[in-house]
Amino acid sequence: MKYDLIVFDWDGTLLDSAGAIVNAIQASCRDLGLAVPSDAQARHVIGLGLEDAMRHAVPDLPPERTPEMVERYRHHYLSGDHDLRLFEGVHALLNDLKSAGHILTVATGKSRLGLDRAFKHSGLGPLFLSSRCADECHSKPHPQMLDELMAEFGMKPESTLMIGDTSHDLLMANNAGVAGLGVTYGAHPHDHLLDCNPVACLHSVEELGLWLKNNA
């Protein structure tokens, strides 16, 4: 295998949640009487740690109101996260990769509590041998999540692949010296991902599976 360790982002890569995140950010701003970011502005921060995401999505947010914004975001997102679905084909893709002997892990902007909740709802938890979250490490695109996962399994950068739907994922891969693979069906547009020099950009889970079968 070329890539023994495969690291997945969560939101927008495995879970079809980008729209729900955008709506939660915008609803939180309305609750607090703040300027509501556009869909594109809200989508851009997906993948960052929650507090970083709120500060970037709402540049005029006073620092002392960040906890209030985070609370409103969690309220809106968690009220509907049980209805979110994995992208079609994700279960089969992950099972095939695990059966082929790859080490599967997650690096996400979610909190540990949020990822554990997502693992439980999706049933995917047992497929991943480890994970890193934004409240345990520096937020993307800092390389800490990937550095720690590689160290945990004794993997070199050339044996590691990061898969994600945002520039934050791909820039984290660049910063860690590992290959980054972009998927265009999540939060960030194709051109934005290409700017980060991924090894490829795939447009569906089916394409992702075929690429991994032929190249990983």
Q: Is 169 a catalytic residue?
A: no
- Neighbouring CB atoms inside 10 A of 118's CB total 22
**Contact partners, residue 67, CB within 8 Å, separation at least 6:** none
Q: Is 11 a catalytic residue?
A: yes
Residue of 4, 9, 116, 169 with catalytic role? 9
3-state helix, strand, coil split of the chain in percent (to 5) is: 50, 15, 35
Side chain identity, residue 91: H
Residue of 11, 52, 81, 169 with catalytic role? 11
- Neighbouring CB atoms inside 10 A of 4's CB total 17
Using CB atoms within 10 Å of the CB of residue 40, give its burial: 0 to 12 exposed, 13 to 18 middle, 19+ buried: exposed
Please list the active-site residues. Answer: 9, 11
